[in-house]
Amino acid sequence: QKEVEQDPGPLSVPEGAIVSLNCTYSNSAFQYFMWYRQYSRKGPELLMYTYSSGNKEDGRFTAQVDKSSKYISLFIRDSQPSDSATYLCAIRAGGYQKVTFGTGTKLQVIP
């Protein structure tokens, strides 16, 4: 079983839609949860980072963590064509443990 599972998509939505991206993980030791966005032929860039269960909001983006279910989500409100990218979840245990990335979900927002 992979440490992090992520639906690869692709996910295609109309402009203005609410997008839900999800990951599940297997190790309850993971404490840090991140979402990266990767545009085509570019390196990933950090979008959101959270430590605890609950929600964290940043503009149109909301990261949600449910540690009891080992489930993390990224919601994008009022999606824009510029949100078209691959979104990777990433998780890390404490200390100097390495970051484990999901395989990424490709999102296309259609004008």
Partner 1 sequence: DAEITQSPRHKITETGRQVTLACHQTWNHNNMFWYRQDLGHGLRLIHYSYGVHDTNKGEVSDGYSVSRSNTEDLPLTLESAASSQTSVYFCASSGGLAGPETQYFGPGTRLLVL
Contacting residues toward partner 1, per CB under 8 A? 6, 8, 32, 34, 41-46, 49, 88, 92, 96, 98-99, 101-104
At its nearest, how many Å lie between partner 1 and the CB of residue 105?
11
Task: Provide the token pair at 79.
Answer: 């999606």
Separation of alpha carbons 50 and 42, rounded Å:
24
In the complex, the smallest distance separating the C-beta of residue 45 from partner 1, rounded to whole angstroms, is 7
Q: In the complex with partner 1, which residue's Cβ is closer, 96 or 111?
A: 96
Nearer CB in complex with partner 1: 19/89: 89
**Measured between alpha carbons, how far is residue 58 from residues 47, 63, 69, 86, 101 in Å?**
9, 8, 23, 18, 21
Complex with partner 1: residue 14 or 98, whichever CB lies closer: 98
Shortest distance in whole angstroms from residue 78 CB to partner 1: 26
> Nearest-CA neighbor of 2 among 93, 100, 87?
100
Residue 2 vs 77, nearer CB to partner 1: 2
38-47 burial, b for 16+ CB within 10 Å, e for fewer? Answer: beeeeebeeb
